[in-house]
Structure 1
C-alpha cells in the first residue's frame, strides 16, 4: 500500500512562511534590478530572483496538490516600476547577503520539524541555494572592499577553565573584557539594526499613508538607538568600531513598494532582531549585556506588536494557517 501522509502543522507553517518571505523579497529585488547600474551585481540579482521564484512556485505546487489554500503573498501590484531609485546598488548587495543568510538559517531550522521526504528535500535544496547565494554575494562585497567585518581580537595564548564567578558580572568597578562569542552577537545585531535603519528610513519618505510614515520614522529612531547602545559597549571595551553600513538614500518620495509590502518587510526585520537578541541573551555571560538585550528586545516587541495592529487595521495582515475553531463551529447560528 502506498503511504501518502498529509502535511503536518509544522510543515504547513514552514511552507507558508517560506512563501510569504520569498514572494516579498522577489518584488523588492525586482525593483532593485530595474534601477541597477552595477554590471557586477547583475548575475547575483538574477540568481536571487530565480531562487525566490523557485520557492514560491514549489510551495504553490505542494499546497495545490494537498488542497491547501495558496497564500496571497505579494504580487506585481505591490511594486511600482515607474518609481526611481531609493537605495544604492551597494545596498542591494547588502540586502541580498542579509536575506540569503536569513533564508539559509530559516530553511535549516525548519528541517528539524519536517517529516515528509518531499518537504525535507525541498528545504534542503532551498538551504543550499541560498547558502551559495550568500557566499557569492560575500565574495563580491569583499572584492569591492565593502564587506563589513566584525572586530578583531588578539589570539588566545592558552586554553583554561574559569576560576571565578566574577566572569559573569565583571570585576568590581568595571566589566571583564568581552568574549569572542559576545562580540560576534553584538556585531550581528548591529548589522541587523543598520540594514533595518536604512530600509525604514527609505520607507518613511516614500510611504503613502501618514500612519505608515510615522511608524517608519519611529523604527528609524529605534534602530539608531540600538546601534548606539551596541557601539557604546564596544567603545567602553576598547574594541575598534567596525565601519558603518551604507545608508545612502535618494531624495525620491515616489514609493517603489506598497505600504503593505513595506510594513511586512519591517515586521520581518523586527522578528529577526527579536530572534537575534534572544540568541545573544543565551550566549552572553556578562550580566550587563543580558540587561541591555532584555530591555531592547522589549522595545522591539512593542514596536512589532504596534505594526501588526496597524497591518490588521488596514487589512494588510494575511492570516496564517490555523487550527479549526471548534467553539465557533459549535456556537454557529443555525
Structure 2
C-alpha cells in the first residue's frame, strides 16, 4: 500500500533552497565554462553543469507534482555569456571545489531533514555526485600544484590525556599551542574568507548599482580583516602561513552577472561563514579563540543583515514557503 504523504515543512524548505542555490550557481558555472581556456578542466565544468541541472530539474519535478509554485530563482537574464572573463581558470577550479564541499554538506543536512523516499533519493544522489565532483576538482588542483594545503604539525609520539584546566586557556595571557582540531577550523576559515573576498572584489568591479558596489567593497574589507585575524593566530604559534589563493581578476567592468544574482550569492557566502564560525566555536577549546569567533560572527551577521535590506529594497529577495499567519487570518 503506497503512502503518498504531503511534503513536510522541512522538505519544502530544503527543496526550495536547493532550487534557488542551484539556479544561482548554474549562472556562475556557465560563465566559467564559456570563458574557460584550460582543456583539463573542461570535463569537470561540464560535469558540474550536469549535476546542477539534475538538482534544478529534480526539485522542480517534485514541486510540480505537488502543485507547489516553482520558485523563480535565476535564469539567463542573470548572466551575460558574452561578457569577457572576470576570474582566472584556476579560481574557477577552486570555486568548483569549494561549492562542491558546501553543496555536499548542505545536501547531507537536507537528507536528514527529509521523510519521503523520493526526496531522500534526490538528496542522496546529490551527495554522491557532489562528493565525486569535489574529488575530481581536488585532484586537478593537486596535479597543477595549486592546491592550498593546511599547515603540517609534528605527529604525537603517544596518546595523552588533558591533566590541567590551563588547557582551556583564558581570554588573556599566554595560551597553549593550538591543537589539530582548532587548526583545521582556522584553515577552513582562511579558505572561506579568501574565496569570498576574491569573489566580492570581482563583484564590486562589475556591479551596476552604486549602493551594491559600496556593499561589495565593504565585504572585501571585512574578508581581508578576517583573514588577517586567522593569519595572526598562526604566526603567534610559529606556524607556516598557507599560500595565498589565486585572486587574479581581469580589468573588465562589463557585468557578467546581475546585481540581484551577485547579492544572492554573497548572501550564500555569508551563510557559509556563519555556519563555519559556529562549528569553529564548538570545536575550539581555547577560550580566546571562541571569543574571537564570536566577534567575527557578529560582523558577518551585521553585514548579511544589511545585504538582506538591500535585496528587499530592490525586490530581489524571493520569499520561501512559510506557515500561515494565524493572527492575520483571525482578524
TM-score (norm 1): 0.98
Q: Deviations over 1:40-73 (max 9, x none)?
A: 1100000000001100001000000001110100
Shift of residue 325 of structure 1? 1.3
Contact between 1:16 and 1:59, CA under 8 Å: does it hold in 2? Answer: yes
Shift of residue 170 of structure 1? 5.9
Q: How does 1:118-137 map to 2 (within 5 A)?
A: 118-137=118-137
SS at the partner of 1:82?
coil
Shift of residue 3 of structure 1? 1.5
- The aligned residue for residue 258 of structure 2 is 258
Q: How does 1:180-259 map to 2 (within 5 A)?
A: 180-259=180-259
Shift of residue 80 of structure 1? 0.8
Shift of residue 113 of structure 1? 1.5
- The aligned residue for residue 280 of structure 2 is 280
- The aligned residue for residue 142 of structure 1 is 142
Contact between 2:234 and 2:240, CA under 8 Å: does it hold in 1? Answer: yes
Contact between 2:194 and 2:245, CA under 8 Å: does it hold in 1? Answer: yes
SS at the partner of 1:37?
coil
Q: Deviations over 1:159-207 (max 9, x none)?
A: 1111000000169841100000000000000100000000000000100
Shift of residue 260 of structure 1? 0.3
- Report which stretch shifted further, 167-176 or 275-284: 167-176
Q: Could you say what the CA RMSD is over the residues aligned between the two structures, in angstroms?
A: 1.1
Contact between 2:171 and 2:291, CA under 8 Å: does it hold in 1? Answer: no
Contact between 1:23 and 1:73, CA under 8 Å: does it hold in 2? Answer: yes
Q: Deviations over 1:271-320 (max 9, x none)?
A: 00000000000010001100110000000000000000000000000001
Q: How does 1:29-68 map to 2 (within 5 A)?
A: 29-68=29-68
- The aligned residue for residue 75 of structure 2 is 75
Shift of residue 2 of structure 1? 3.0
Distance (whole Å) between structure 2 residues aligned to residue 44 and residue 3 of structure 1: 39
SS at the partner of 1:156?
coil
Distance (whole Å) between structure 2 residues aligned to residue 283 and residue 172 of structure 1: 20
Distance (whole Å) between structure 2 residues aligned to residue 29 and residue 173 of structure 1: 47
SS at the partner of 1:49?
helix
Please identify runs of 4+ aligned residues in structure 1 that moved more than 3 A. Answer: 170-173
Distance (whole Å) between structure 1 residues aligned to residue 130 and residue 2 of structure 2: 33
Which stretches in structure 1 are left out of the alignment for 5+ residues?
none
Q: How does 1:145-184 map to 2 (within 5 A)?
A: 145-169=145-169, 173-184=173-184
Contact between 1:170 and 1:176, CA under 8 Å: does it hold in 2? Answer: no
- The aligned residue for residue 13 of structure 1 is 13
- The aligned residue for residue 95 of structure 1 is 95
Distance (whole Å) between structure 2 residues aligned to residue 96 and residue 84 of structure 1: 19
Would the alpha carbon gap of residues 7 and 176 (structure 1) be closer, same or farther in structure 2, given more than 3 Å must change? same
Distance (whole Å) between structure 1 residues aligned to residue 2 and residue 301 of structure 2: 46
SS at the partner of 2:150?
coil
Distance (whole Å) between structure 1 residues aligned to residue 234 and residue 3 of structure 2: 56
Which stretches in structure 2 are left out of the alignment for 5+ residues?
none
Contact between 2:171 and 2:288, CA under 8 Å: does it hold in 1? Answer: no
Would the alpha carbon gap of residues 61 and 269 (structure 1) be closer, same or farther in structure 2, given more than 3 Å must change? same
Question: May I ask how many residue pairs the two structures share in their alignment?
Answer: 331
Distance (whole Å) between structure 1 residues aligned to residue 47 and residue 2 of structure 2: 37
